[in-house]
Amino acid sequence: MATKSTKSTKQRPLYPRGVPSKFSSDGVLQRFPGNTIICHLPPNSPLQPGLNTVFASLSSHPVLSKLIHLLPKDSWHMTVLGGIHGDKATPGKRPPGFQGRSLEQVTEDFSQKLRQLGLELEQQGLAPPYKMRIRGFNGAKFFIGLQVEGATAEEEKRLRLLRDRLSDTLGLRLPNHDTYGFHITMAYLLRYIEGKDRKMLNALFEKHLSQVQLEFELGAAEFCTYENMYAFVRLFYLGQGRN
């Protein structure tokens, strides 16, 4: 007699990740406070013209524009090491060792540790600038963006070492630490993009790939706080004191 399998099929969430935590299902920006270590994309970066073209194509697309929420251009950045998010009003999943502490307490603790580490980066060969290159567009499962890596194998190794030093200094190491892919996010998905819509998105990527597949530089890493996905407020540059 055959027995029924007790293995349950994991159902996909109704909306892509980021909804409703960062954006509501109808695209309204949500409060999502936290801290992070990032490199903003400079306004004069050679990557900016290509990104502006992609932004224009997405925002004017009759179908895709309704499925995504584009981020402001001045928010474009590459995350070096994600920090902590969520407070009492918007609780987030906290890594071990960070439960029960307010976001403000964690930010102050991180600030003190990062100011000290910043003074050591040059001696450790981890100071900016960081030479980067675009690998291509990401898989767009829950956001649209560009995959980024060090322009050389040595530079990629240097960035990974920087992540390790930051992680060790803060006592913050997430499960995906070693596999994390550097990226620049341009938009969040409000709905899954599939079927004909996915073909249209892939065609848009193919059209613009040559305009963004280039090398560029990023400056000093910044310790930032944020209230939502629209703005990342710099507290200071690592290694450069208050600014």
Does residue 2 lie in a domain region? Answer: no
Nearest to 85 by CA among 4, 30, 139, 137: 30
If the chain, 243 residues long, is cut into consecutive pieces of 10 residues, what is the mean pLDDT of each piece?
Answer: 51 94 97 97 98 98 98 98 85 77 94 94 96 97 98 98 97 92 98 98 98 97 98 94 44
Does residue 230 lie in a domain region? Answer: yes
Give DSSP secondary structure letters for 142-211: SEEEEEEEESSHHHHHHHHHHHHHHHHHHT---TTTTTPPPEEEEEEESS---HHHHHHHHHHHHHHHHH
Does residue 73 lie in a domain region? Answer: yes
Could you read off the pLDDT of 196-232 as tens digits, one per residue? Answer: 999 999 999 999 999 999 999 999 999 999 999 999 9
Q: What is the pTM of this model?
A: 0.91
Q: C-alpha distances in angstroms, 106 versus 43, 109, 112, 147, 237?
A: 30, 5, 10, 29, 18
Number of Cβ within 10 Å of residue 168's Cβ equals: 11
Does residue 74 lie in a domain region? Answer: yes
Q: Could you list the residue range(s) of the whole structural domain that residue 130 is in?
A: 58-84+107-237
What per-residue confidence (pLDDT) applies to 25?
Answer: 97
Does residue 97 lie in a domain region? Answer: no
Provide the domain count of the chain: 1
Does residue 33 lie in a domain region? Answer: no
Could you read off the pLDDT of 31-65 as tens digits, one per residue? Answer: 999 999 999 999 999 999 999 999 999 999 999 99
Angstrom distance (rounded) from CA 213 to CA 135: 6
Q: What are phi and psi of 20, to 5 degrees?
A: -100, 15
Residue 153 contacts residue 208 (beta carbons within 8 Å): no
Angstrom distance (rounded) from CA 67 to CA 77: 22
What per-residue confidence (pLDDT) applies to 39?
Answer: 99
What per-residue confidence (pLDDT) applies to 243?
Answer: 41
Does residue 24 lie in a domain region? Answer: no
Does residue 222 lie in a domain region? Answer: yes
CATH number, domain containing residue 122: 3.90.1140
As a 3-state breakdown, the chain gives helix, strand, coil percent values, each rounded to 5, of: 30, 25, 45
Q: C-alpha distances in angstroms, 196 versus 55, 140, 208, 231?
A: 20, 15, 19, 33
